[in-house]
Amino acid sequence: MVRLSRRTILLAGSAWAFAGVGECNVSTQTTARPSLPIPPELRADAAGSIKLEAQTGTMRFLGDRETATYGVNGPYLGPALRLRRGETVTVQVTNSVPENITMHWHGLIIPGAADGGPHQVIAPGKSWRTQLSIDQPAATLWFHPHYYPSTAQEVIKGLAGLLIVDDEEVGRLPLPSRWGVDDIPLIIQDRRFTPDGQFFDRMNAIAVTNGYVGDIALVNGARYPEARTARGWIRLRILNGSNARGYKLSVSDNRSFYVIASDGGLLASPVELKELPIHAGERFEMLIDGRDGRAFDVVTLPVAQDIMRLPPFDGPLPLVTIRPDGADGTGRLPSSLLVLPALPRQLPPLSQELVMNMFRDTRGMMPLKQAGLPAMIRSGKTDPAVVARVVNLIVSDSALSEAEQLSSNGVNRKPFSLERIDFSAARNKGLRWRISEGPDLMPHPVHIHGCQFRIISRNGKPPEPERAGWKDVAPISNGGVSEILVRFPYSASRDDHYMAHCHILEHEDSGMMAQFTVP
């Protein structure tokens, strides 16, 4: 990978000025920096209950301008729920925002009735109570609304939070686990703001095809913040909580990091990497050696998708600084983590295909081509005139009618319908599914409710080692095909279906979702 000098980082930082939001002479050395907000942990009370409230608020992401936001128990994002394997909690979600929401526990293996999918609507002023019985390995999961068809804009406003499952096995490992000290949550999102400082959000042809394209990176709701941590091994729990954007994470001084967990829990052993692609909805936990006490940035490098390489994402962009200069840390990197069940040598027959379809992608891609975007990306040089034309398409192309929006994308040739059951899946049986995409070359991080699965193969090859453990998102792109082995331990009835969908929320909200029952 490219070696990132301090200078490169300053240059990448200054690219923010290009985004038109000004006042960002950030530097890793001198200027006062926001400190990384750490979401407060929230455990069940003595009676086993947890109360969440979706509420409105305001934030100053841009320094001088107030942005209207949504949050959970706060103005933006939410607390980190901490649940233990074996525990049963009652969660009450109160909706104090002025629109219908639901609350979905992404990655939690629970019956359909508790899942918080599009059918479990919480009207404004109402509450929803559900029981969650936790029976799965320790993992970094998350929660977010799932109301159809406005999940994308509700998440943009700030409705999302972490949900961490703990268990005895992870507790026995010597991993850094002091919250906010050497166990650091990072929720990475991109946003774009209107000139008056509000979140930009528009479901036009560009968005339903390409997904949301922000020009500012936020980490836990802050721009390029700094975290002061223990001096020692640092654990980063990373959620790509962006609507659509994928990142390619790296460390500014080129030090290695060690991936220890994927979506659904620990890997068998740490995977040493210098670069890690992370798609929308995915989580990874990694350990970084900060024993030398020297600060480093977590950086994102340009990804393959043309429109996601608009500035400031056209070069290495620092997301957060980690300054490990506090008291000595106590955690360390074990050489092995967990015994993962081996995939069966005899795989079950293929029982389900999920093909992600785009019905209007030409309408969302052609204007980009005409604006010169693919040519600019191929040239390797950022051209402000092309960038301006593309940004103009993103912000000015008019919104689709709801009928057009809902018929733009689909799964297995059909746009999503709340009224139709697309298929049913056998309960408590290992199932082999095949996930692929039509002829569009867009990335589709496909997510399935009610399970954690294993990726058997990606484009005919074994998955990357960091995706060989428990997963609930299978990324495909470039005509890709993935096969997975999945099991649904609980039932989902016809009123409480599970969902299978692309986690690019603009795709999901425009039809790229299917629903299924588990008898």
Residues that bind ligand C2O (CB under 6 A): 104, 106, 144, 146, 281, 447, 449, 499, 501, 503
Q: How far is the CB of 249 from ligand C2O (least distance, A)?
A: 20
Nearer to ligand C2O, 267 or 499 (CB): 499
Q: How far is the CB of 137 from ligand C2O (least distance, A)?
A: 19
How many beta carbons lie within 10 A of that of residue 43, not counting itself?
Answer: 14
Burial class for 428, CB neighbours closer than 10 Å (0-12, 13-18, 19+) = exposed
Nearer to Cu ion, 210 or 229 (CB): 210
Nearer to ligand C2O, 323 or 501 (CB): 501
DSSP at 505: H
By a kind-dependent CB cut-off of 5 to 8 A, residue 281 interacts, out of Cu ion, ligand C2O, none, with: ligand C2O
Q: How far is the CB of 106 from ligand C2O (least distance, A)?
A: 3
The structure tokens 């609930």 sit at 472
By a kind-dependent CB cut-off of 5 to 8 A, residue 471 interacts, out of Cu ion, ligand C2O, none, with: none
What's the first-to-final CA gap in the chain, in angstroms?
Answer: 49
Nearer to ligand C2O, 146 or 231 (CB): 146
Residue 501 found at the interface with Cu ion (CB under 5 A) = no
Q: How far is the CB of 211 from ligand C2O (least distance, A)?
A: 14
Q: How far is the CB of 89 from Cu ion (least distance, A)?
A: 18
Q: Can you read off the two tokens belonging to residue 506? A: 């603009």
Q: How far is the CB of 117 from Cu ion (least distance, A)?
A: 8
Nearer to ligand C2O, 390 or 513 (CB): 513
Residue 323 found at the interface with Cu ion (CB under 5 A) = no
Q: How far is the CB of 104 from ligand C2O (least distance, A)?
A: 5
Nearer to Cu ion, 133 or 198 (CB): 133
Residue 502 found at the interface with Cu ion (CB under 5 A) = yes
Print the binding letters for residues 103-122 with Cu ion: x by CB under 5 A, - otherwise.
---x----------------
Residue 337 found at the interface with Cu ion (CB under 5 A) = no
The structure tokens 């750490």 sit at 38
DSSP at 179: B
SS3 17: helix
Q: How many residues bind Cu ion (CB under 5 A)?
A: 6
Strands (E), 80-225: 80-84, 88-95, 104-106, 127-133, 139-144, 161-166, 183-191, 216-219, 222-223
Q: How far is the CB of 505 from ligand C2O (least distance, A)?
A: 9
Determine the residue with CB nearest ligand C2O: 106
Nearer to ligand C2O, 146 or 444 (CB): 146
- Residue of 69, 50, 129, 128 lying closest to 95 (CA atoms): 128
Strands (E), 336-396: 350-358
3-state helix, strand, coil in the chain (%, to 5): 15, 35, 45
Instruction: In whole angstroms, give the CA distance from residue 77 to residue 55.
Output: 10
By a kind-dependent CB cut-off of 5 to 8 A, residue 507 interacts, out of Cu ion, ligand C2O, none, with: Cu ion
By a kind-dependent CB cut-off of 5 to 8 A, residue 283 interacts, out of Cu ion, ligand C2O, none, with: none
- Residue of 281, 258, 266 lying closest to 468 (CA atoms): 266
Nearer to ligand C2O, 301 or 513 (CB): 513
Residue 492 found at the interface with Cu ion (CB under 5 A) = no
Residue 279 found at the interface with Cu ion (CB under 5 A) = no
Which residues in 429-448 contact Cu ion (CB under 5 A)? 444
SS3 201: coil
Residue 507 found at the interface with Cu ion (CB under 5 A) = yes
Beta bridge partners of 65: none
SS3 310: coil
Nearer to ligand C2O, 239 or 386 (CB): 239
Number of helices and strands in the chain (H, E):
9, 31
Instruction: In whole angstroms, give the CA distance from residue 61 to residue 65.
Output: 7
User: Are the C-beta atoms of residues 322 and 229 closer than 8 Å to each other?
Assistant: yes
Nearer to Cu ion, 201 or 297 (CB): 201
Residue 213 found at the interface with Cu ion (CB under 5 A) = no
Q: How far is the CB of 508 from Cu ion (least distance, A)?
A: 8
By a kind-dependent CB cut-off of 5 to 8 A, residue 504 interacts, out of Cu ion, ligand C2O, none, with: Cu ion
Nearer to Cu ion, 466 or 472 (CB): 472
Residues in the chain: 519
Dihedral (C-alpha) 72, 51, 186, 288: value to the nearest 10 degrees? 170
The structure tokens 């996601």 sit at 308
Instruction: In whole angstroms, give the CA distance from residue 242 to residue 434.
Output: 25
Q: How far is the CB of 261 from Cu ion (least distance, A)?
A: 17
How many beta carbons lie within 10 A of that of residue 344, not counting itself?
Answer: 11
The site for Cu ion (CB under 5 A) is made up of: 106, 444, 449, 502, 504, 507
